[in-house]
Structure 1
């Protein structure tokens, strides 16, 4: 691992600066020779719920932002990406507001093509959930997911540890209470095809305030983290090392719910970062699924734009990752 990270550093030193956009001001690459390898060493076996973790290797998927947020647009975006990659994605990430139901025509088409849905569900105020104000909505969502009759990954209010969500999350105990409340409604409905995914941010573990939101091993099927090289250009292993150290203490498989490297770091730097990400995922046997965030969110500066399409060197590195047999178990 140390040799691989040194190679990564050398590539960034030689290449990243000359290929970055003029407006980008990359920080000097970190001295990776001094950092310990962040490895999730829990060997399992893992209790992962209806969506079973592979015994070897890891599944690969993505969120792919469509040109238009329509069913046709969603299907076209995934199809274009899969055509460029030359393979089907195992996991398709999709985002839903609290009131938006799962089971749309595009959802069903993805399932018909053999993909597994990872639903990132933006549930609302935790205290109002526990007070019963949204029971009908939650029950309807549970019924829609149950009707799919296939395993679904559900990220209930992912990135709950973000400071800008504190007004609706309130606290770790409030989030945990809402999680258990929602899960109980799903249980009473009989929606037993859900694998429950707990997914904070890598930054939350760096700050030390993510773990208090964890509902417990008896409540969670997959642990998860969202991790980006955005305003800081650091290798993915360094960015998520505090999470990996925490996750190794829990008998759950890991899914990297979102990962990405910003356009501001230039084609060569992005390619090097993705190549290092591939090595890091393969060195962490507890990581059983990864999903790229293929999107340039509207209004975002280059340091928060992550789309790889159109960036040939970066996309080539991602292509190597997804076509590696390790990621097609």
Structure 2
């Protein structure tokens, strides 16, 4: 593993020479208050704070909940010293849903009012108060899967429809006063093609992508169709493909990653612990510049803190909470509080993945 440095960053030897890797986390869903409490407990365990916090939002929310996602959730994350990574999920429907693919409806202007509302909210959030904030924007992720409506699941949808939708979103945000120092776009496919189209077909082009992203998980034996996979098996093939697609100069991120502890005859926390340690070593060698753990038990026991199991326990808020020692060991020094260049949380080079 590369040298761990202060300032919330991991020093890595990868493509382009030595650089730093931001460490981030998705602290779980639910009500905002509980999300923040979970994040606070996570940071207490690490004795520091991650540079990036992943948030999810759908577009199928009422006005009050939409504003909460931006004005409250993103603000709460920022004020705690993190940069928000907003995963923007375009769940929308209308009377033409059965006829026209979702991706094409966006491009044809069916949802211009929705886009205007969201782009205005994001612009206002950045310039709120006396500070200029910043965020990562990850719309319509895992498009090469088959589980989201924007993943060419409509029989008439094509990857070209997705590309046009992405470019439409990008153009609409470009119409605001936001600059590249305020927002960076992450194009984030799944680590494997599942939906019948190759990931290369969905690439919007270098002018529309600031960061590459890969979401990948070791499901272990948690499903009938899954088996234990090493970090290299999960990520290496897609890393090679994205490097060939966009070149070495576009920074690479892992916006979501995790591992189950499920093996054929039960659960093995020690084996998951080894997988975690190996992940950070692999990312450092591969030149990954951001890695965000999916820290919540969902389909299986992804959590590294306060989940179903761990290799140790830590007492926080009067409760013994399971935790994985390898994760804390790998990132504790890396999540020390970053000294901001006021009023920004990360330097421009860190934010843009250039350092």
Aligned to 1:221: 210
TM-score, structure 2 length as denominator? Answer: 0.71
Alignment of 1:91-130 (within 5 A): 91-100=52-61, 101=66, 102-124=69-91, 125-130=102-107
Look up the SS of the partner of 2:184 in the other structure: strand
Aligned to 2:27: 64
Instruction: Please tell me whether residue 270 in structure 1 is matched to residue 231 in structure 2.
Output: no
Q: Which structure shows the bigger proportion of residues in helix conformation?
A: 1
Which residues of structure 2 form unaligned runs of 5+? 2-11, 92-101, 127-132, 220-225, 312-322, 339-349, 351-355
Deviations 1:239-267 (A, max 9, x none): 11121112323221011010000131420
Aligned to 1:307: 303
Quote the Cα distance in structure 1 between the aligned partners of 2:262 and 2:276. 14
TM-score, structure 1 length as denominator? Answer: 0.76
Quote the Cα distance in structure 1 between the aligned partners of 2:329 and 2:203. 34
In the TM superposition, residue 208 of structure 1 has moved relative to its aligned partner by 6.9
Instruction: Please tell me whether residue 237 in structure 1 is matched to residue 223 in structure 2.
Output: no
Quote the Cα distance in structure 1 between the aligned partners of 2:200 and 2:271. 31
Look up the SS of the partner of 1:61 in the other structure: strand
Look up the SS of the partner of 1:232 in the other structure: coil
The number of aligned residues is: 274
Aligned to 1:252: 250
Change (3 A) 1:208 1:270: farther
Look up the SS of the partner of 2:272 in the other structure: helix
Look up the SS of the partner of 2:178 in the other structure: coil
In the TM superposition, residue 190 of structure 1 has moved relative to its aligned partner by 2.6
Instruction: Please tell me whether residue 321 in structure 1 is matched to residue 336 in structure 2.
Output: no
Aligned-CA RMSD value: 2.6
Aligned to 2:162: 175
In the TM superposition, residue 282 of structure 1 has moved relative to its aligned partner by 1.3
Quote the Cα distance in structure 2 between the aligned partners of 1:130 and 1:158. 17
In the TM superposition, residue 312 of structure 1 has moved relative to its aligned partner by 3.2
Q: Which structure shows the bigger proportion of residues in strand conformation?
A: 2
Quote the Cα distance in structure 1 between the aligned partners of 2:335 and 2:112. 42
In the TM superposition, residue 146 of structure 1 has moved relative to its aligned partner by 1.3
